[in-house]
Amino acid sequence: MALLEVKDLVKSYGDRNVLDGVSFDLEEGEAKVVMGPSGCGKSTLLRCLNLLIEPTSGAILLDGNDITRPSADVRALRSRIGFVFQNFALYRHMSVLDNVTLALRRLKKLPKREAEERAMHELARMDMAEKSDAFPAALSGGQSQRVAIARALAMDPKVLFFDEPTSALDPIMVREVVTLINRLYLDNVTILCVTHDLGLAKHISDRVVFLHHGKVYAEDRIEELLHRDDPVLEDFFGGED
Amino acid sequence: MSFFDILQILLQGAGYTLLITFSCAATALVVGLGIAMARELGGRWASAVLSALVYVLRGVPMLVLLFIVFFGLPGIGVDVPPLVAMMLSLGLISGAYLSEVFRGALAAVNSNEVLAAQSMGFTRFQTLRLIKIPQMLRFSVPGMVNELTTVLKYSPFAYTVGLPEITKQAMALVAMTMRGIEIYAAIGLIYFAIYRLLLGAVRLIEKHYAIPGFAQE
């Protein structure tokens, strides 16, 4: 049984289906990338998967449990899914350490000392332990993204969602973050990543789900998609390989 | 009677001025925060009702509301002490203005931070308390200073309901000595000194809670 099963997911705004029957699976320890042209529904898909946006229809099964049913505990579900945002979304009035410990203390109810130990462990894993007292405004984009990843990992999630994790970074920081996410991939962290970044997709993914007009247009290994004789894929990848 | 003697007599009323200012400012803070929070957490109807209330309060002259509370309510059997009447008039009107300051500051909180908190499993109330309010209060400092200053400057209206604050003391002194220019100049100086003290205190608080690296000055 897959860790995450998405079945015939639809999200409509009025007459417009942003997601139109999306289905795919994510196995435990797998890293999957969602790619597609702007406006194809990638970010909406990610937000639907932890119910930040309510899907119109379809089913999302996490560990076999349908999280879209009305009786599902949405907050408990969200604490099992780590979410790393494009613009880092660090709480700017809190230090790096407080950013990481906040959910541990308030949601997992860990004592301060234990929460800080776990936070420091994850910050060290992201090479950010020495910045634990710094505030987000003093961090570079790459450092902010590393703190955001540490914050998500500290909650010990079943799966980690990335929403365009490199799009707000310069090329040097992109390499830094790609290396970190690749390290997570090699550590068998289950990852679902929305990105435009072909380099990131090549480094971290087993398979790519290619969305087009709200539907799964193709799902395959990135190398296969790059060499497929298909005008839509060729148009998106622009002959890169 | 020297200018120093006049100052000394007037300063006896300064305690009342400070009491009125702090009582009304505290009322305004509670009312402003209450309205801002209720607008955030309440539904569309709650927000519409509160917006209408704020609209009305901002349009009513302070002295009219003070007279309604102090001279009007006894007519229906509700006696209101002078200080409470000030809190229910100046405090309420100032609270309505503060709620607008808070509304603007809440809108300045980065929506991605709110989304991040919700994606981790925080409730709307937790997100408000832990993420939005701490930032909102910091962003609101300039607006709160303005409102505190307004409350201080409106505090002389308390003489109309019998509170012996500085202006009332001054009027009594002028009636006795006929030295209006000196006496009113003296209370101007006292108000300015109180304003500078309050401003200094607010700046200290602002500095203590400033977010490092985040420009607010």
Percent of chain A whose pLDDT exceeds 70:
99
Find all residues with CB under 8 Å of A85, minimum gap 6, and list them. Answer: A148, A163, B112, B115, B116, B119
pLDDT above 80 for A241: no
Number of domains in chain A: 1
A76 with B117: Cβ contact below 8 A: no
CATH number of the domain enclosing B95: 1.10.3720.10
Residue-wise pLDDT for A51-105, tens only, equals 999 999 999 999 888 988 888 888 888 888 999 998 889 999 999 999 999 999 9
Mutate to test the interface with B, among A92, A100, A159 (most CBs of B within 10 A): A92
Quote the DSSP letter at residue B109.
S
> Does the beta-carbon distance from B122 to A107 stay under 8 Å?
yes
| Interface predicted TM-score (ipTM) of this complex, two decimals | 0.87
Q: Which residues of A touch B122 (CB under 8 A)?
A: 75, 103, 106-107
- The domain containing residue A19 runs over which residues? 4-237
Q: Domain containing B38: what range?
A: 18-163
Judged by a CB distance cut-off of 8 A, whether residue B138 touches chain A is: yes
Closest CA to B128 of B31, B189, B41, B16: B41
Contact status, residue A31 vs residue B97, Cβ threshold 8 Å: no
The token pair at B162 is 């019998």
Residues of B numbered 87-116 whose beta carbons fall under 8 angstroms of chain A's beta carbons: which are they? 110, 112-113, 115-116
How close does chain B come to A134, measured CA to CA in Å? 8
Check B113 against A106: CB less than 8 A apart: no
Cβ distance A52 to B119 less than 8 Å, yes or no, reads yes
Q: With beta carbons under 8 A apart, name residues in chain B contacting A96.
A: none
CATH number, residue A171: 3.40.50.300
Best to test chain B binding among A54, A77, A93 (most B CBs inside 10 Å): A93
- Nearest-CA distance from B128 to chain A in Å? 13
Contact A81 B119 (CB under 8 A): yes
Q: Average pLDDT, stretch A187-214?
A: 89
Regions of chain B short of the pLDDT cut 70 = 214-217
Compute the average pLDDT of residues A116-127.
Answer: 94
Q: Under a CB-based contact definition with an 8 Å cutoff, are residues A4 and A192 in contact?
A: yes
What are A9's two structure tokens?
A: 């997911």
| Amino acid (one-letter) located at B34 | G
Give the chain A residue nearest B117 (alpha carbons).
A103
Has residue B4 been placed in a domain?
Answer: no
Mean pLDDT of chain B: 91
In a domain, B196, yes or no: no
**Res B95: pLDDT:** 97
**B92 in any annotated domain:** yes
Q: Using a CB-CB distance cutoff of 8 angstroms, which residues of chain B are in contact with residue A76? A: 121
DSSP reduced 3-state for A140: coil
Number of domains in chain B: 1
pLDDT of residue B217: 42
Does B215 map to a domain? no
